[in-house]
Each structure stands twice: as structure tokens, then as C-alpha cells.
A = this chain, B = another copy of it.
Amino acid sequence: MLSPKINFDTKQLPEALLPLLTFARQRNIEKGKYLVEQGLHCNLFFLVLEGVFRTYRTTDEQDFITGFTFKGDLDTNPYSLFNNIPSTETIEALTDAVVLIFPKEDLFEARNNNLPLQDFIITLLANYVETLETRLHQNRSMTAEQRYLQLLQTQPEEIKKIPLGYIASYLGITKERLSRIRKKLS
């Protein structure tokens, strides 16, 4: 996810995004379908109205999950979107989902004469940088168990919907290890 928990009630989108709303299309996404694909150009960003997504990178046949996206989160691959190059990761629906899609052309169009929108994007990215740096830091300073407990604490509801193997991949550990951690904690 790029942004965690935007406070949206359909009409309660962030001010800066309102001008984009006329261009946005609501779409149903089937479980297992991709919104962004590693190797292909990412030409949208989206807001999750319903469902769960995972973002992952594939190397040597192996998937590494870098994040999850839940209801109320904005997501995209900023590197691909803003540099106009192929995406370095895949974003896949883990459940049937409903999203609000903002096509790239419209975003870029709107961006040209809309300073609040630019500011909004900058803040979003700056906050995401912080999220990533914190994760990097916690990966070194905390044990797998501590990281799992922390995840439970920050995302108690959402985490229940995600298979153990995916959570393990996100935490950077094996499924066996997470299984044992859960056993120990119960």
C-alpha cells in the first residue's frame, strides 16, 4: 500500500483527489487478477473500496511479498508510474475486490495545473519512504516474533483474512517459522 487508511466514506476523499474523481472508474476485480504486473508499465493508481491485495516481487521463481493493501488504502507502483518504465512488482487481488481506478493520463493531466494535488502526492510518497525505512529498521532490530506481534497489533482485523504463507513472506520468514511462532503464542 502506498497510503494507509484514507478516511473515505465515498464522499470523504482527500480534498486534493476530488478533481480526479470525475475520471475515476469503479471496477470489480476477481480474486487472482492483477492490477499491476512486474515487467509491464503501471498506468494507474487505485483506491481499494473492498477486498485485499498483495504486492510482490519475483526473483528466481520465488515470490517475496512487500506489502498488503486493504480497504481505504491507495496503491500503485510509483517508480513505474512516474518514470514511465516497467513495474518492478506485481499487485494481485487476494480476494474478489472493488476498486476506484485513476488512470495515469488523467492523473498526469490533472497534475499540470493543480498544486494541491502535487503536494498531496509528495506527502504520500514522503510518508511511504518513512514506512519503508521503518520496516527496514525493524527487520534488523526486532526478532521475527516481535515483528509478527507488532503486525497483529497494527492490523488486527485485516491480518485474519490473509493466509499464513503470505504473512510469513511479508515478515521475511518461512511459513514453518510463523506456524511455530503462532503455536508458541497461543
Give the interface of A toward B (CB within 8 A): 57, 59-60, 62, 64, 66, 78-79, 81-83, 88-89, 111-112, 115, 118-119, 121-123, 125-130, 132-137, 139-141, 172
Contact = CB atoms under 8 A, between A and B. Distances in A.
B139 A172 contact: yes
Contacts of A127: 79, 83
A31 to B, nearest CB: 25
Q: How many copies does the complex hold?
A: 2
Q: By DSSP majority rule, is chain A's interface helix, strand, loop, or mixed?
A: helix
A101 B128 CA distance: 24
27 contacts: A59-B141, A62-B141, A64-B137, A64-B141, A66-B136, A78-B125, A79-B126, A79-B127, A79-B133, A82-B123, A83-B126, A88-B130, A88-B134, A112-B115, A115-B115, A118-B122, A121-B122, A125-B129, A128-B129, A129-B132, A132-B132, A132-B136, A135-B136, A136-B136, A136-B139, A139-B139, A139-B172
Given A66-B133, A125-B126, 5 more contacts: A82-B126, A111-B119, A121-B122, A132-B133, A136-B136
Contacts of A135: 136
Contacts of A82: 122-123, 126
